Chain A
Amino acid sequence: MTVAIDRATGKRRGDRAPRPGLVQRVKNGYQKHWYAYVMIAPVVIVLGVLVGYPLVRGIYLTLTDANSLNSARTIGVNHIDATYKFIGLDNYTDILFGPTAYDRFWSHFLWTVFWTAACVALHYTIGLGLALMLNEKLRGRTFYRLLLVLPWAVPTFVTVFSWRIMLADSGVLNQVLGALHLPQPQWLEDTFWQRFAAIMVNTWCGVPFMMLSLLGGLQSIDSSLYEAAEMDGANAWQRFRHVTLPGLRAVSSTVVLLGVIWTFNQFAIIFLLFGPTGAPDAQILVTWAYFLGFGQQPRDFAQSAAYGVLLLSILTVFTSFYFRWLKRNDQLAV
């Protein structure tokens, strides 16, 4: 892989040879790389304006007491200027150590971590299992693949509503359970079952992406490796352990990272499954932050943004450690 990239046409040996003066370097760099910069310019500009600026602005908001009553707003023809004031780190101390810190932040934090770990583990194992099955020579595997990708193709909000109907008190799932004389949990009311249902629905939604990515990874493993392993007398488990898993490393490390990030920030499923105000204990940090900023009156913009900053910090720290760990294990695909 690296060999191929090193042959990139843009890369010149001269890049790292003698270092001329700064002005000359900038000029050379510009001449050498201007088309690269032109090509990435749209993304850089859009991300800068729509992610960079709001980020800075959002961080500033977290240092104020902004809410919907004191922010700039327009009512009819009257424009009212913002009156919120700077209060330093009070929002953070309040969230992390205030009197309601456990109820509001830490309990949601623990649940979010559990939710992410459980969902990604399920996504990965089920996705890998299905990918392995789809990778066998089998009649009708294109058909199976089409069906199995369906949860990904139908928009999340459609399927989440479908799950909501099925999980309702006397919905079909409980009717089936009742017919089998099994207990019929209150899926959408009882905290434990709410969480269970959320993980179940998210697993259902997230498996196809993992499955397809891993299937792609499986197909890129050289089949001669399997033949060699078989010649050496490796049994199925050994072949899986020593050929398949190492062959999937690059793709696994990428999809697991993306899976963690996406699941940690998964908004739609919990938001739609329980409605905007239902299930306070099953809210993960993202939906809880959205509730603070948009789901209540007055809207607490500052606290909502502070949650956002905390979430982003958690993910950044996680990603850095993850990369360091990957690098140490030489699994990095980037």
Chain B
Amino acid sequence: MSTTTFEKAPAGPVSDPQPRSGRPPRRGERRPLRAALLHGGLAVASLIALAPVAWLFFLSLGPDKDDYLHPGKILGKLSFSNYSFVLENTGFFDWFKSTMIVALGTTLIGVFVAATTGYAVSRMRFPGYKQLMWVLLLTQAFPIAILIVPMYEIFGQLGLIDTYWALIVINCTTAVPYSAWLLKGYFDTIPFEIDEAGRVDGLTPFGTFFRLILPLARPGLAVAAFYNFITAVSEVAFATTFMLDDSKYTFAVGLQTFVSQHDAQWNYMAATAVLIAIPVSVFFYVVQKNLVTGLTAGGTKG
């Protein structure tokens, strides 16, 4: 790829020593304006990124359900009453438990399974390799509409409707293919000499994978874990359809109960939403340092 880049880079202007009009010849000289523009742009973008979440937090402090219509009035009566109501009188802790079981289950199983697959497709060329890569990509394209009815039947027959396993397994089917792609890219960046060294020292292929490669692949694993976790927490359609018992609702389903056709309790909803965002943000904060490195490898190596 770098060769094409070199070919395409224009070689013509070498013979043109004059700096262009209005353009300082060296980078350093236009720093201040440039930096101001950059800071301005990034600040505006950050503000837009932050606003809906911040607004939600602000509304969660207003005690009445119509406060969102008169946000000015909230300032005079800030309180945490919504939070205490949600924590004491709703299924919040049940929902929290369900969501964590489903999300952490998906993360653990999904990352492990995706890692072995990613390693296999990164290091080994076996018959069926191309087909596997193609299937992994294509499963991303599966619309829920085609799967949800048959899955409902299958899980019904297996007695898995209304169980956490159903959601964990379903979330894995959507998260694992992409995680495997991502991890393949990451494994590709780990020198193959390491595998060879491990093999020379008498490790089996599995031993090489577990003892040498997995510890080196931590940033990639972190991104995959984050992706799995987020996918599982955010999943709406299957959770809405498959979880019938309200003590097993995940947050995605539970939150909808505040906003029915007849009664929209936005204040409780806002408080719950903020409470949900906290564990997810903590998880995010833990893995964020690895995000760019992990995605880089996944992205550039496809």
A positions within 8 Å CB-CB of B = 1, 4-5, 7-11, 15, 29, 32-33, 35-37, 39-40, 42-44, 46-47, 50-51, 53-55, 57-59, 61, 66, 71-72, 129-130, 133-134, 136, 138, 140-141, 144-159, 161-163, 165-166, 168, 170-172, 175, 204, 208, 212-217, 219-220, 222, 225, 228-235, 238, 242-243, 246-247, 249-251, 253-255, 257-258, 261-262, 264-265, 267-268, 271-272, 275, 285-286, 289-290, 293-294, 301, 304-305, 307-309, 311-312, 315-316, 319, 330, 332-334
Contact = CB atoms under 8 A, between A and B. Distances in A.
Contact of B280 (A43, A144, A153): A153
B284 to A, nearest CB: 4
8 contacts: A57-B153, A58-B150, A172-B55, A175-B71, A204-B49, A213-B295, A232-B10, A253-B302
Among the interface residues B133, B153, B276, B300, which one has the most CB atoms of the partner chain A within 10 A?
B300
B124 to A, nearest CB: 3
A8 to B, nearest CB: 5
B284 A153 contact: yes
A235 B273 contact: no
Given A155-B233, A268-B236, A43 B192 contact: no
B144 A265 contact: yes
Contacts of B300: 216-217, 220, 250-251, 333
A259 B8 CA distance: 28
Interface of B: 1-2, 4-6, 8-11, 13-14, 16-17, 20, 23, 27, 34-35, 38-39, 41-43, 45-46, 48-50, 52-53, 55-56, 59, 68-69, 71, 113-114, 116-117, 119-127, 132-133, 135-151, 153-154, 169-170, 172-173, 176-178, 180, 188, 192, 195-196, 199, 204-206, 209, 230, 233-234, 236-237, 241, 251-252, 255-256, 259, 261, 266, 269-270, 273, 276-277, 280-281, 284, 288, 291-293, 295-302
Given A33-B127, A305-B149, A319-B141, A254 B299 contact: yes
B224 to A, nearest CB: 13
A229 B9 contact: yes
Nearest to B113: A42
Closest 5 CB pairs of A and B: A308-B146, A216-B296, A10-B124, A333-B302, A289-B145
Contacts of A46: 113, 169, 172-173, 176
B142 A162 contact: no
B292 A153 contact: no
A222 B2 contact: yes
Given A9-B196, A9-B199, A138-B39, A146 B288 contact: yes
B301 A250 contact: yes
Nearest to B209: A39
Given A149-B284, A155-B252, A250 B55 contact: no
Contacts of A271: 236-237
Contact of A1 (B20, B119, B301): B301
A274 to B, nearest CB: 12
Among the interface residues B8, B241, B273, which one has the most CB atoms of the partner chain A within 10 A?
B273
Contact of B1 (A1, A171, A238): A1
A287 to B, nearest CB: 9
Given A51-B142, A155-B230, A275-B259, 8 more contacts: A4-B192, A8-B122, A39-B116, A44-B132, A161-B269, A275-B261, A308-B143, A316-B141
A307 B23 contact: no
B188 A58 contact: no
A10 to B, nearest CB: 3
Contact of A286 (B144, B169, B292): B144
A235 B291 CA distance: 32
Contacts of A233: 13-14, 16-17
B14 to A, nearest CB: 5
